[in-house]
Structure 1
Amino acid sequence: MAMNNSENNNGRIMSLGTFLALYIAQFVPSSFMMTALQVTMREGKYSLAVIGLLNLVRLPWLVKFLWSPLVDRHCLTVGDYKKTIISCEAVYALALLFTGFFDVKSDLLLILILFFISMLASSTQDIATDALAILSFRKQDRSLLNSMQSMGSFGGTLIGSGLLLMVLHSYGWHVVVPCLALFVLLMLIPLLLNRHITIEAKKPENKAKLADFIWFFSQRSVWPQIGFLMLYYMGIIGIISTLRPYLVDHGYSMKEIGFLIGIVGTASSFVCAWFSGVLLRRIGLHRARVLFAVCILSAPCYFLLLSFFPFSKVAFLIGIIYVQACYGLATVVVYTSSMQCVRPGREGTDFTVQVVISHLSGMFIAVASGSIGQWFGYEGIYVVEIAVSAISLIYILHFFKAKKDTISDL
């Protein structure tokens, strides 16, 4: 029995490491490419309007629910999932490799097309990875799994948009980007070596249909979750989206802002994503959902309080660390609760739909914050964020109830 428990623990640790590697493989290249292209294009005297259009290459990540049923329908066994993930990673790496051969200033259109293809491949890999993760982990282990997912995204962002930018200045585009392609392939090694991943065979009646992303909304039981996904991030995303302009207004350079937000802030999210997964196992999903909602509510309150006093670098740095910590905590709750609302045979589709909802709500409040700040200043943004956070907390207390067993709900 002791040997079996030891083997199970080793298998779980190896599987957690496998999924961490897959999630990091998604975010390091994409975060680097977005940041590097923005900087390089600006240095090349491109207008802000043209640089803003660069965000369109991320479109596959916002509409990936359209082809997620195809992944669910095709992938029936662990072997199917592995083949899908490996194929997508190969396309991802190949697109990055070719991107490194071109020059940003003279071949921008080709680079954007290849970047779009890489985003299409990585978003499809993400669907398969999420579905395999849901099927291969028990409910009580999903909080730790979602810590790996969140840590992969924050760690990838930290490396891609922070550390690699420094490397770019030393070695150049034609060296760093092909190395990223090699990095993507190396992150497949844990998956190739891991024989501990097992799933139950899918039943024929649960086979996904092409329009299953629509039928997800036909379930009456998921509507409280949809409201939760729309509200939970809103209280901090508006603040996070205005941190950089605020620091610019106070005379900070691009390098200083990159360090404070891209490295210090993201590192805070990374650490708190791990802590969130551990805490969820101890106190349960409902208590964590409420606790972190209170933390989110206090973030805009803190920034509103700061606005009544002269600017303090230390006080604002504490605010950056705190709001990014809240983001790390909340992300694990969002992912864990989303895994609870998937239908058999449609795991990738249902999880993808929920993640897209949370991203769209975040995009909405980020855009709205710009207009609010234009008319009412940063104080107006903080007041709106306080109101949204309070509504989110009340919504959670009304629609979600605590369970006696704090572990089984994970």
Structure 2
Amino acid sequence: MATGGPKPPAQKPLAARLGILSVFYLVQGLPFGFQAKALPVYLATHGLSLTHIGFAGAVSAPWLLKPLWAPLVDRFGSARFGRRRSWIVPLQAALASTCLGLAFVPAEALLLFLAMIALTNLFAATMDIAVDGLAIDMLAPEELGWGNIAQVVAYKVGMQIGGGILLWASQWIGWRGLFEAMSALIFVALIVTLIWRERGTAPSPSESPPAARASVRAMLSTLYKALASPGGLALLAVVATYKIGESVSDAMFEPFLVRYASWGEARIGLILGVYCMFFSLAGSFLGGWLATRVGIYRALVGFAIARTLSIGAIVWLASLAPGAIGDTEVVLAKGLEELAGGGLTTAMFAFMMSRVDRRIGATHYTLLAGVEVLGKAPGGLLSGVLADALGFVGTFATGLGISLVCLPLLALVRQRPSARPDSASA
């Protein structure tokens, strides 16, 4: 039974392990990139109100609800095919098929379109459980910084493709071509996954349905211990609040460019989905590097402060006249926010991963990730209501204010040591 020690002796070199993890995280980023970047543009150009655009973010609900089925993913798996791989392969196939189906949904069937987008999130979120568990299985504690660089950077490259490059290319290939290209990329990743062979622990052949029920109890027990342990509530509070302000401003930024600055789809895809995403990728690299150099907590605080200041640049951008909002202004303002946000995300994910009990790594980490999504959800969903009521400047200023209010919460986890129950038995 694995007890959270260093990586098993049969593990491949770190570069090989990071490479396969990057493939998996990139696949997950493709549909989410479309939802986060391209979907608001699609809905805005089809005349939906800002309130409806904000509430369309509910299609990401599977990312919030995934802790409910995380124990099943963590417990069940084929020892012969691979504990995590036996989940990843069928989910990639289902995701590729759904993206291909989206290519043939007519524009007037908006509810069907959104339902299928939600389905892509269901497959990607469930895959994320297995991949996060695989990362915890494959990486030693001292490798987590590099692992989180691979996680965040690869995920954002997927977002850059799904919500940026393909959106920009849609002026030539159309929305159908966008989904067909996305499906083809996922199919290529599926072939790579089929060739790859998983190493590490697999469920015992003696495990049975009662063991699955025990894992549900283990999930609840883990949550209880996280709440009851010293600093447990503070940790959950920080994870839940560290990106609320950013979620408010981010959800309305693409509609702001469409409705206020009169930008087109291709321009948004190129500037936000490609140019600004490079700032985000640079921030992700910087966040992981600083986490390994100055410590995860210090990196987390530094990037949280920088991210808050960068939201102020978004408020400034919204205060300009529509004609004054050019490519340079958007790249500078949004690029700074993406740089700080990318570093913050990497540092926070490393912070979360450093706290998990490796015996139930996927379940424990998924619980923290679920709290993180739960914290961001209200801001994104209500951003459209705020924009209709306060305008874009008021909405972005609200995001800035919330971010400022949440900053002091980071001090609550400063003295909390990174401890894992399993480490004591290693």
SS for the counterpart of 1:95 is helix
Per-residue displacement from partner, 1:287-324 (whole Å, max 9, x unpaired)? 11121122123224445566788766445532211111
CA distance in 1, matches of 2:219, 2:253: 35
User: Are the structure 2 counterparts of residues 103 and 370 from structure 1 closer, same or farther at C-alpha, using a change threshold of 3 Å?
Assistant: closer
Correspondence for 1:127 = 129
Equivalent in 261, 268, 291 of residue 257 of structure 1: 268
1:225: Cα distance to partner?
1.4
Q: Is the 8 A contact 1:286 1:402 kept in 2?
A: no
**Aligned partner (choices 356, 367, 372) of residue 370 of structure 2:** 356
Q: Is the 8 A contact 1:269 1:327 kept in 2?
A: yes
1:319 matched to 2:314: no
Paired AA for residue 415 in structure 2: K
Aligned equivalents of 1:286, 1:17: Cα separation in 2? 26
Contact 1:217 1:223 survives alignment (8 Å): no
SS of residue matched to 2:216: coil
Out of 157, 160, 165, the position equivalent to 2:159 is 157
Residue 361 (structure 2) aligns with: 347
- The 2-side partners of 1:16 and 1:30 are apart by 21
Measure how far apart 1:8 and its partner are: 9.4
- Hey, what's the Cα distance between the residues in 2 that align with 1:270 and 1:43? 28
Q: Which residue is 2:3 aligned to?
A: none
Aligned pair in 2 of structure 1 residues 301, 39: CA closer, same or farther (>3 Å)? closer
Q: Partner of 1:81 in structure 2?
A: 84
Q: Given the alignment of the two structures, is residue 395 of structure 1 paired with residue 424 of structure 2, yes or no? A: no
| Residues in 2 aligned to 1:296 and 1:36: alpha-carbon distance in whole angstroms | 23
27, 33, 48: which one pairs with 2:29?
Answer: 27
* Aligned residue runs from structure 1 range 11-90, under 5 A: 11-32=13-34, 55-75=57-77, 79-90=82-93
Q: Cα–Cα, structure 1 residues 294 and 36, in superposed 2: closer, same or farther, change >3 Å?
A: closer
Alpha carbon RMSD of aligned pairs, Å?
3.8
Q: 5+ residue gaps in structure 1?
A: 1-6
* Alpha-carbon distance between aligned partners in 2 of 1:129 and 1:361, rounded to the nearest angstrom: 22
The letter of the residue matching 1:188 is L
Please state whether the residue corresponding to 2:215 is helix, strand or coil.
Answer: coil
The alignment partner of 1:80 has SS state of: coil
- Contact persistence 2:251–2:380 (CA under 8 A): yes
Structure 1, residues 235-292: CA drift from partner, whole Å, max 9, x if none?
A: 4333323433444465331233333322222221122112211121111111111211
Corresponding residue pairs, total: 398
Q: Distance in 2 between matches of 1:41 and 1:303?
A: 22
Give the deviation of 1:399 after TM superposition.
2.9
Q: Which amino acid aligns with 2:251?
A: S
Distance 2:125 2:26 in 1: 13
CA contact (8 A) 1:41 1:105 kept: no
| Bigger mean CA offset, 103-112 vs 56-65 | 103-112
Indicate whether 1:336 and 2:350 are aligned: yes
Name the counterpart of 1:96.
99
1:74-94 C-alpha deviation (Å, 9 max, x unpaired): 148581211111121122223
Amino acid corresponding to residue 89 of structure 2 in structure 1:
I
3-state DSSP class of the match of 1:251?
Answer: coil
1:72 deviates by 1.1
Question: Could you tell me whether the CA contact under 8 Å between 1:232 and 1:392 is conserved in 2?
Answer: yes
- How far residue 22 of structure 1 moved from its aligned partner, in angstroms, is 0.7
Counterpart residue number, 2:223: 217
**Contact map agreement 1:213 1:349 (CA 8 A) in 2:** yes
Equivalent position of 2:291 in the other structure: 280
Post-superposition offset of 1:356: 2.2
Instruction: For residue 261 of structure 2, give the secondary structure of its aligned residue in structure 1.
Output: coil
1:332, distance to aligned residue in structure 2 (A): 0.7
Q: What SS does the aligned partner of 2:64 have? A: helix
Structure 2 gap ranges (5+): 1-8
With structure 1 as the length reference, what TM-score do the two structures score?
0.81
* CA-CA distance at 1:116 after TM superposition: 4.1
Contact (CA 8 Å) 1:44, 1:105: kept in 2 or not? no
Q: Is the 8 A contact 2:59 2:114 kept in 1?
A: yes
Q: Deviations over 1:353-401 (max 9, x none)?
A: 2222222222222345555555555555555445433443322224313
8 A contact 1:27–1:160 mirrored in 2: yes
CA displacement at 1:137 relative to structure 2? 0.3
Q: Distance in 2 between matches of 1:8 and 1:148?
A: 21
- What letter is aligned with 1:252? S
Instruction: Spell out the pairing of 1:130-209 with structure 2 (5 A cutoff).
Output: 130-172=132-174, 175-195=177-197, 197-199=199-201, 209=215
Q: Please give the per-residue CA displacement for 1:134-161, whole angstroms capped at 9, x wherever unaligned.
A: 1210111112111122112221121112
Is the deviation greater in 371-380 or in 155-164? 371-380
Give the aligned residue type for 1:243.
F
User: Counterparts of 2:383 and 2:202 in 1: how far apart (Å)?
Assistant: 45
Deviations 1:2-30 (A, max 9, x none): xxxxx999721111111111111122144
Supply the AA of the counterpart residue of 2:254: R
Superposition pairs for residues 2-17 of structure 1, below 5 Å?
A: 11-17=13-19
